[in-house]
């Protein structure tokens, strides 16, 4: 599967509608006056904020803006009853103090503060504002945001990724991928964390992206990155806090047959994964792992959760994603790019059915989903006594949200 020729998009030609995110922010403002909008650099946080009606925008990287915000009380009194955006708020000397005072004493001021990490990830934020804020995690582009666009292909979404400006580029934005790494180090890591070895940290990040979706073992990176195992674990924690990777830990109740300690690590975006793997074209066999990343992105974005697991036993049976939806109810999710290669093939259906059967022997309650790109109408297949539901991500999300 290869993409050839010129690409029909350009930043000035197409605007991606972010309706889901606009609604999510408005909903969050109904619950709290302060919203922490988080997500990696270039994910579109600024443009999303500016697309909201009746907002006033403040870029905290600008010295004049920081000066205006230096007297917190006067500034908040001047914004009474307004909706404001405080972009790059970590540039302030004490950002958490401003947000805390706003939440406690100026609730009429609706604030969106943006950042590239969780609020408590760095020493810049002495208070995580527990009970005073709502968090919105902006992910890579959703399928619903791209599928309606003219000339959309899933191959483009895989290769170009889900950062809006990168997805709409005229050609594969390899230079932008390289530039992003430099900006990530300079503006996110150096400003927020104490990381001594730039080359070691960035090499580790690149290696993780290149093996995205695989099981993680810290000791495998110590020699190539020239740092200790504890340092590798610290690097991983920073990458997770800044949303560059997602650590999916094994689900188990510590039974002897289960894998209990080896996490899987996924890169945040398929474009960066392809770039790290040096893929500028795609083969048919590449679709499976990239589709897995897309499904994970859909689940995380719509449910706004990071508590997703995978399951594997010592005989090699595995379930891609596992979600606990009740004390005893556990949803099992397998990602397969094409349903045609499974649903009509007895051997292929039996192979995937064995994974679900092994899981259900231990955890009998819950639904079994096979999430495929080409399913337009959900359907079911039977494996022994198990019902396997073949769905598109939109139907998976609909069913998962109904369980909330």
Q: Are residues 97 and 185 in the same domain?
A: no
Out of 137, 161, 185, pick the residue that ends a domain. Answer: 137
- Secondary structure (3-state) at 294: helix
pLDDT at 272: 97
333 and 255 inside one domain: no
pLDDT in tens, 5-24: 334 444 444 678 899 999 99
Residues 270, 197 share a domain? yes
Residues 106, 198: one domain? no
User: Quick one: 93 and 187 in the same domain?
Assistant: no
d(CA 113, CA 134): 11
Residues 25, 131: one domain?
yes
Check residue 93 and give its pLDDT. 87
Question: Is residue 304 in some structural domain?
Answer: no
Mean pLDDT of all residues in the chain? Answer: 91
Q: Is 221 domain-assigned? A: yes
Sign of the CA dihedral running 237, 201, 295, 219: negative
C-alpha span between 23 and 351 (Å, rounded): 41
Contact yes or no for 365/403 (Cβ under 8 A): no
Q: How far is CA 81 from CA 70, 76, 108, 111, 397, in A?
A: 20, 10, 5, 10, 36
What pLDDT, on the 0 to 100 scale, is given for residue 404? 66
- Cβ burial of 256 (10 Å; 0-12, 13-18, 19+) is exposed
- In the block, tokens 């891609």 appear at 320
- Residue 378 lies inside a defined structural domain of this protein: yes
165 lies in some domain: no
- Residue 274 included in any domain: yes
**Same domain, residue pair 334 and 393:** yes
Question: Do 182 and 115 have their domain in common?
Answer: no
In a domain, 253, yes or no: yes
**How does strand 214-215 pair with strand 245-250?**
unpaired
Domain membership of residue 350 (yes or no) is: yes
Question: Which regions of the chain are under pLDDT 50?
Answer: 1-13
Q: Report the domain count for the chain.
A: 3
**Residue 195 included in any domain:** yes
> Do the beta carbons of residue 76 and residue 46 sit within 8 Å?
no
Final residue belonging to a domain, choices 137, 162, 187 = 137
Do 271 and 368 lie in one domain? The reply is no
Q: Are residues 267 and 321 in the same domain?
A: no
CATH number of the domain where residue 132 is located: 3.40.50.300
Same domain, 32 and 133: yes
pLDDT on residue 12: 41
Looking at the fold, whether 133 and 46 belong to one and the same domain comes out as: yes
pLDDT for the residue numbered 7? 41
CATH code, domain with 253:
1.10.10.10
Q: Which domain holds residue 333?
A: 309-402
């Amino acid at each position: 599967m290869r993409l050839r020729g010129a690409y029909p998009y350009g930043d000035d030609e197409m605007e991606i509608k972010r309706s889901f995110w606009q609604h999510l922010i408005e909903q969050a403002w109904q619950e709290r006056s302060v919203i922490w909008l988080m997500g990696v650099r270039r994910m579109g946080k600024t443009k999303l904020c500016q697309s909201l009606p009746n907002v006033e925008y403040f870029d905290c990287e600008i010295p004049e803006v920081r000066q205006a915000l230096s007297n917190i009380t006067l500034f908040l009194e001047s914004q009474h009853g307004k909706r404001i955006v405080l972009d790059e708020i970590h540039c302030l000397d004490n950002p958490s103090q401003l947000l805390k005072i706003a939440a406690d004493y100026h609730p009429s001021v609706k604030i969106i503060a943006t950042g590239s990490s969780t609020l408590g990830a760095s020493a810049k934020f002495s208070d995580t504002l527990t009970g005073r804020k709502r968090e919105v995690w902006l992910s890579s582009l959703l399928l619903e945001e791209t599928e309606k666009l003219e000339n959309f292909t899933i191959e483009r979404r895989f290769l170009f990724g889900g950062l809006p400006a990168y997805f709409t580029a005229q050609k594969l934005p390899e230079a932008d991928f390289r530039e992003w790494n430099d900006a990530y180090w300079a503006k996110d890591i150096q400003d927020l964390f104490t990381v001594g070895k730039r080359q070691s940290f960035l090499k580790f990040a690149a290696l993780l992206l290149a093996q995205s979706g695989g099981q993680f073992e810290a000791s495998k990176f110590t020699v190539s990155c020239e740092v200790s195992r504890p340092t590798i674990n610290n690097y991983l924690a920073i990458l997770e806090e800044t949303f560059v990777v997602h650590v999916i830990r094994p689900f188990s109740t510590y039974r002897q047959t289960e894998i209990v300690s080896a996490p899987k690590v996924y890169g945040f975006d398929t474009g960066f994964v392809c770039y790290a793997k040096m893929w500028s074209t795609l083969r048919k066999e590449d679709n499976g792992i990239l589709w897995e990343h897309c499904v994970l992105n859909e689940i995380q974005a719509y449910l706004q959760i990071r508590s997703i697991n995978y399951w594997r036993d010592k005989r090699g049976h595995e379930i891609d994603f596992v979600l606990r939806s009740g004390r005893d109810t556990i949803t099992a999710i397998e990602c397969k790019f094409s349903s045609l290669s499974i649903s009509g093939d007895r051997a292929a259906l039996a192979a995937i059915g064995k994974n679900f059967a092994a899981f259900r022997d231990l955890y009998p309650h819950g639904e079994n989903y096979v999430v495929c790109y080409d399913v337009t109408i959900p359907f079911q297949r039977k494996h022994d006594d198990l019902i396997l539901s073949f769905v598109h991500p939109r139907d998976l999300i609909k069913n998962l949200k109904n369980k909330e």
